[in-house]
Amino acid sequence: MSTGTEVEVVMPQMGVSVSEGTVTRWLKQAGDAISRDEPLLEISTDKVDTEVPSPGEGVVAEIRVQEGETVEVGTVLALIRPAGGEAAPSEPTPAPAGEQELVDEPQAAAQPEAEPVAEAPAQPASSASEPEVAEPVVAGAPVEAPAGEGNGRTFVSPVVARIAAQHGVDPGGIPGTGQGGRVTKKDILAFIESGAASAPTAPAPVPVPVPVPVEVTEPAPPPAEPEPAVPAVASSAAAPAPASPAPPAPPAPPAPQPPAASPATEAPEPSSAPVGEHEEAMTAMRRGVAEHMRRSLDTSAHVTSAIEVDMSRVVAAREQLKREYQSSYGVNPTYLAFIAKAAVATLGDWPWVNGEIRGDKIVTRSFVNLGIAVALEDGKGLIVPVIRNAQDYNLLGVARAIAELAEKARTKKLMPDDVQGGTFTITNPGGFGTFHGTPIISQPQAGILGTYAVVKRPWVVQDELGQDVIAIRPMMNVTLTYDHRLVDGAYAGGFLRDLRARLEAWGDGDA
């Protein structure tokens, strides 16, 4: 195990309410060199998906938690051996992680052969039979591996993949009698019939994909670079359990599991999808979104009010500021920034909209932690990073904060606390041209503001003589969805009226 000089990588605390996380993807494999703060793995919790940077520099000595496994906060995920540190081939092989021991010299492979069988009870079957990892680094203890060898071992035929998905078993853990040890339909049916599949504590079905240095496909970012460009592509955190034929390479890792379940036991829902339909496992984020949306509707009494805002002055102000903000600060003053600024100011006068029902108490605040709903690409999920103490920011600060949080959300760089503690939320689906909506409140908040497309419309205004004239004005619909348990319609209307007044009277002093 640890030589004492190794640095432990632990499952980080992803916010106060989060007690566990799922390893979605290792960006480095055992044996890879890594520099401090270089992204090491991706994790997923019900709050956030993020990368975990390496806490030390050296070589990834050991990976203890495989992709798809969910573990408690604080669990050691991997060990980093400092550069130049001892390669410690002689250390005793620990039961749970022995097969991970990684050494640069192939000779070391011989070592585990001598291990008494009893010392490595669980995992060996699949690792021993892992054909792709022919490089001699591997070392599952050779417990009478039922599986054959050769190329067939990891190929999963369509029918086997389908049956496996239906029954939630991993073909990688089933003894194969087909060509090259391939798991045949008969094998998997016999396995299921034997009841082995429903006895998930049995060691066999636990897949232990053995990371092998040679197999690394992820181009390692230059070690010295503090901001590697990799994360943008790192969307595979959402990698679903294969509902369709599994890829041939290493035994499919278990799907990201619901947090409560131990990885080996939880079967993905049967995918007996009728022809033309496709099933995939929910990502942790999607599950979180789903659960939260439902719970919010079950909790709050949602009511939505809408108001039309003449954005003429905001449009003009934005035109004026745009060049300056862009050239001097590299920040785009979006409409959202204006609205956020105005909304935060307005909330000061309507504290319940920024409040919360806590038990039988009403909580109001002197500060606004403003959540900004950000949709991830391809419908991968929704996340609400929070601008803390938004009341402290001027327009430039709000604009910058929104841009930074959005970027962090999309590149999975949000820190746990970036998504915690919001008191009010703005969602902005107007970019798609929608003019109305009824968003769902982010619990335990009391309100969510929806902003929609700015559209030029004929609008009745008064000229300087007090005469009604029809003018062309850039109009925006703004909705407030509020919890009627706390906020009444008149109160919400007052908030919207004042917000509109603020936006329509936007002046230099408001920036």
Q: Which of positions 225-244 make contact with another protein (CB under 8 A)?
A: none
Q: Return all residues near 165 (Cβ < 8 A) that are at least 6 apart.
A: 241, 242, 243, 268, 270, 271
CA–CA dist 494, 473 (Å, integer): 23
Binding mask 124-163 for another protein (x = CB under 8 A): ---------------------------------xxxxxx-
Catalytic residue selected from 488, 498, 508, 510: 488
When the beta carbons of 185 and 302 are compared against another protein, the nearer one is: 185
CA–CA dist 487, 303 (Å, integer): 9
Is residue 178 within the footprint of another protein (CB under 8 A)? yes
Tell me the three-class secondary structure of 466-479, residue by residue: CCEEEEEEEEEEEE
Among 182, 341, 408, 500, binds another protein (CB under 8 A): 182
To the nearest whole angstrom, how small is the minimum distance from the Cβ of residue 213 to another protein?
Answer: 33
When the beta carbons of 275 and 460 are compared against another protein, the nearer one is: 275
Q: Is 170 a catalytic residue?
A: no
Paired tokens of 252: 């499919």
Read off the DSSP letter of residue 64: -
When the beta carbons of 160 and 375 are compared against another protein, the nearer one is: 160
To the nearest whole angstrom, how small is the minimum distance from the Cβ of residue 159 to another protein?
Answer: 5
When the beta carbons of 159 and 229 are compared against another protein, the nearer one is: 159
To the nearest whole angstrom, how small is the minimum distance from the Cβ of residue 243 to another protein?
Answer: 11
To the nearest whole angstrom, how small is the minimum distance from the Cβ of residue 10 to another protein?
Answer: 41
To the nearest whole angstrom, how small is the minimum distance from the Cβ of residue 166 to another protein?
Answer: 10
Bridge partners (DSSP) of residue 357 are: 362
Among 17, 107, 151, 179, binds another protein (CB under 8 A): 179
Q: Which of positions 244-303 make contact with another protein (CB under 8 A)?
A: 245
What element of type H or E holds 307?
A: strand 302-310
When the beta carbons of 184 and 425 are compared against another protein, the nearer one is: 184
Contact predicate 206/125, CB 8 Å: no
When the beta carbons of 216 and 273 are compared against another protein, the nearer one is: 273
Contact predicate 397/329, CB 8 Å: no
Q: How far is CA 340 from CA 309, 320, 399, in A?
A: 14, 18, 9
Q: Residue for token digits 């029809």?
A: 470
Beta strands at 58-63 and 76-82: parallel, antiparallel or unpaired: antiparallel
Q: Is 302 a catalytic residue?
A: no
Residue type, 21: G
Taking the mean position of all CA atoms in its chain, how far away is CA 20?
13
Q: How far is CA 233 from CA 51, 366, 377, 411, in A?
A: 12, 40, 11, 8
To the nearest whole angstrom, how small is the minimum distance from the Cβ of residue 244 to another protein?
Answer: 8
To the nearest whole angstrom, how small is the minimum distance from the Cβ of residue 487 to another protein?
Answer: 52
Which one of 68-76, 179-187, 260-268, 359-367 is the stretch in contact with another protein (CB under 8 A)? 179-187
Bridge partners (DSSP) of residue 311 are: none
Q: Which of positions 477-496 make contact with another protein (CB under 8 A)?
A: none
Catalytic residue selected from 37, 302, 484, 510: 484
Is residue 322 within the footprint of another protein (CB under 8 A)? no
Q: Which of positions 183-202 make contact with another protein (CB under 8 A)?
A: 184-186
When the beta carbons of 81 and 182 are compared against another protein, the nearer one is: 182
Paired tokens of 35: 């520099």
Number of H helices, E strands in the chain: 9, 18
Q: Give the binding-site size for another protein (rule: CB under 8 A).
A: 13
Q: Known catalytic residues?
A: 484, 488
Binding site for another protein (CB under 8 A): 157-162, 178-179, 182, 184-186, 245
